[in-house]
Amino acid sequence: MVKICCIGAGYVGGPTMAVIALKCPAVEVVVVDISVSRINAWNSDQLPIYEPGLDDVVKQCRGKNLFFSTDVEKHVYEADIIFVSVNTPTKTRGLGAGKAADLTYWESAARMIADVSKSDKIVVEKSTVPVKTAEAIEKILTHNSKGINYQILSNPEFLAEGTAIADLFNPDRVLIGGRETPDGKKAVQALKDIYAQWVPEDRIITTNLWSAELSKLAANAFLAQRISSVNAISALCEATGANITEVAYSVGKDSRIGPKFLNASVGFGGSCFQKDILNLVYICECNGLPEVANYWKQVIKINDYQKSRFVNRVVSSMFNTVSGKKIAVLGFAFKKDTGDTRETPAIDVCKGLLGDKAAISIYDPQVTEDQIQRDLSLNKFDWDHPIHLQPMSPTAVKQVSVSWDAYEATKGAHAICILTEWDEFKELDYERIYDNMQKPAFLFDGRNVIDLEKLRAIGFIVYAIGKPLDPWLKDMPAVA
Ligand SMILES: NC(=O)C1=CN([C@@H]2O[C@H](COP(=O)(O)OP(=O)(O)OC[C@H]3O[C@@H](n4cnc5c(N)ncnc54)[C@H](O)[C@@H]3O)[C@@H](O)[C@H]2O)C=CC1
Ligand SMILES: O=C(O)[C@H]1O[C@H](OP(=O)(O)OP(=O)(O)OC[C@H]2O[C@@H](n3ccc(=O)[nH]c3=O)[C@H](O)[C@@H]2O)[C@H](O)[C@@H](O)[C@@H]1O
């Protein structure tokens, strides 16, 4: 029986291994982590991450051929194939701070593999890593290999949160990079055999190691670039009276451009887009390509601009001050159908409003008060470290309260900001909400989920990203 061990039981390690276990009943899969609380949660009825369909998959295989354990060394020792899916955060200190990937966790995993292994291993990079990481890992593993043959593969993950299970069941492609030696090719084939249990052969792409590593960074950069492109145009729409939904639809109808990923928003969030682009920028700089670095840096700059533009729009519309005013924030997760708040644009928007002394009342169907308070008090990039290494109990931000109901959150508010596109926000009783708010009642839709005309008819002053401006806002100072 082939034995797989995955180091890192997070958003990637957990779902990917659960699906491998489900699709390959003849393979034993053990997911290990240094975080005891995470492993306990994987072994309980309350999984550590919210992902539609995940519960079902885990229930079908857990205890049969899928196991979660903190005994990292034992399972690494026993495995034939080791996936490494640990955090690769942005460095916060030293060389490359604010850009380069911090490979501390990856390196410690590699050293541990080298220490405990007694048989040949295929080591698979599942984490997103800088190009040429495999070379460094290879050096660590083979430096004192005691005759063990290590093959390093790059097998980046392309799942998106909220649709992880569907993405894993039916991926656009699976990418495997490996050495072009006979042993390298054998290792690529071994991993291909796993995926071929459910992924059609023509969707399994094999490349050299560096192409696979770079393709992951490039794919995320291209995706984020589309959002920054449509968001940049949304600012121009507001200035000219064009409508971003109409523009994006017309642009996306061109089959060379395509309709997906053209939704204007308050900005993209999530654990990877910013981190991976910063990483790409750093690699370009290190390779003497400042023009290429600056090109990609602009994707992040437009994203930051979009978030601060939104905050400025809120403040300037409300007579240039939100001091002491109650602002209801609907949605805190970085996108719908996930409880994940990593790099969510809601953090920057809330911080911006708090900077103007607003009193914020937040409702999100999947995010806890504790998480929100942590997010608003953690330093930039600190969230991307194993939980037990993060500050324990950050001081609560007093001007922030959290409700478990949208009606409660909006009661007595001067304004509403919609920051996540949860479906339920489309169905709210906005007449009831309007009646219970201060007047004039403002609504700032950062996700284009509400029916603009209907809400204006109720009496709201509405701002929606990239939509023709409410007459009220037209007379307000222009925002940057
Ligand atoms: N979240 C996502 O949707 C995607 C993430 N990725 C990449 O996958 C990697 C992991 O991301 P996530 O799963 O989101 O992170 P995560 O933070 O949810 O999970 C990482 C896990 O690794 C564990 N860990 C760290 N060092 C360890 C060690 N030495 N031994 C054992 N366990 C260790 C941590 O305790 C944590 O539970 C990152 O490189 C990320 O860029 C790639 C595609 C999608
Ligand atoms: O490497 C990763 O971590 C993953 O990053 C993204 O997945 P994810 O961040 O989970 O979610 P997305 O659906 O890509 O959304 C990212 C952000 O962009 C925003 N977005 C997305 C699409 C759009 O049209 N407009 C827009 O503002 C979302 O609201 C969200 O804040 C990629 O889509 C995955 O392919 C990749 O594997």
The whole-number pLDDT of residue 390 equals 67
- pLDDT value of residue 306: 98
Ligand 2 atom having least distance to the Cα of 335? 29
Protein residues with CB under 6 Å of any ligand 2 atom: 128, 157-161, 220, 223, 227, 261-263, 265, 268-273, 334-335
Which ligand has the shortest distance to the CA of 31? 1
Cβ of residue 8 lying under 6 Å from some atom of ligand 1:
yes
- Supply the DSSP symbol for 145: -
- Tell the CATH topology of 2-199: Rossmann fold (3.40.50)
Among 312-316, 385-389, 413-417, which stretch is predicted with the lowest mean pLDDT? 385-389
Q: What is the pLDDT of residue 397?
A: 80
Q: Which of 167, 273, 310, 336 has most ligand 2 atoms within 8 Å of CB, for mutation?
A: 273
pLDDT band at 380 (very low <50, low <70, confident <90, very high): confident
Supply 296's token pair: 């990609």
Percent of the chain with pLDDT over 90: 86
CA 228 to chain centre: 16
Catalytically annotated residues: 272
CA distance 413 to 415: 5
Query: Residue 96 annotated as binding?
Result: no
Is the model's pLDDT at 478 over the cut of 70? Answer: no
Q: Comparing 146 with 81, which gets the higher pLDDT?
A: 81
pLDDT tens sequence across 179-224: 999 999 999 999 999 999 999 999 999 999 999 999 999 999 999 9
**Model pLDDT, residue 470:** 83
Question: What average pLDDT score do residues 344-367 get?
Answer: 97
Contact indicator for 337, 297 with CB cutoff of 8 Å: no
Residue 480 has pLDDT above 60, yes or no: no
- The pLDDT value given to residue 382: 73
pLDDT of the residue at 434:
98
Q: What is the pLDDT of residue 159?
A: 97
Residue spans per domain, the chain:
2-199, 221-464
Q: How much distance in Å is there from the Cα of 270 to the middle of ligand 2?
A: 7
Report pLDDT digits (tens) over 39-61: 999 999 999 998 999 999 999 99
Q: Rounded CA gap, 430 and 452, in Å?
A: 11
Q: Tokens standing for 182?
A: 């006979």
- The reply to whether 87 sits in an annotated binding site is yes
Give pLDDT tens digits for 261-297. 999 999 999 999 999 999 999 999 999 999 999 999 9
pLDDT attached to residue 471? 83
Q: Which residue's alpha carbon is nearest to atom 1 within ligand 1?
A: 11
Q: What is the pLDDT of residue 386?
A: 74
pLDDT tens track for 1-31? 899 999 999 999 999 999 999 999 999 999 9
Check whether 479 has a pLDDT greater than 70.
no
Return the pLDDT at 394.
63
Q: Which of 88, 126, 159, 163 to mutate to test the pocket of ligand 2 (most atoms within 8 A of CB)?
A: 159
Q: Is 324 annotated as a binding residue?
A: no
* Residue having the nearest C-alpha atom to atom 7 of ligand 2: 160
Verify whether ligand 1 is closer than 6 Å to residue 127 (CB atom).
yes
Residue 412 has pLDDT above 70, yes or no: yes
Three-class SS of residue 33?
coil
Least confident of 342-356, 372-386, 435-449: 372-386
Per-residue model confidence (pLDDT) at position 144: 77
Nearest atom of ligand 2 to the alpha carbon of 261 = 24
Fold for 221-464, please state it: Rossmann fold (3.40.50)
pLDDT band at 385 (very low <50, low <70, confident <90, very high): confident
Strands 174-178 and 204-208: parallel
Cα–Cα distance, 434 to 432 (Å, whole number): 5
The model's confidence at residue 145, banded by pLDDT at 50, 70 and 90, is: confident
Q: To 10 degrees, what angle do helices 290-317 and 345-355 make?
A: 50
pLDDT band at 256 (very low <50, low <70, confident <90, very high): very high
Residues 6+ apart with CB under 8 A from 246: none
Ligand 1 atom nearest the C-alpha of 387 is 35
User: Is 9 marked as a binding-site residue?
Assistant: yes
pLDDT, mean over the chain: 94
- Give the whole-angstrom CA distance, residue 385 versus residue 249: 39
Residue 110 alpha carbon to ligand 2 centre in Å: 29
Domains 2-199 and 221-464 share a fold: yes
- ipTM for this model: 0.98
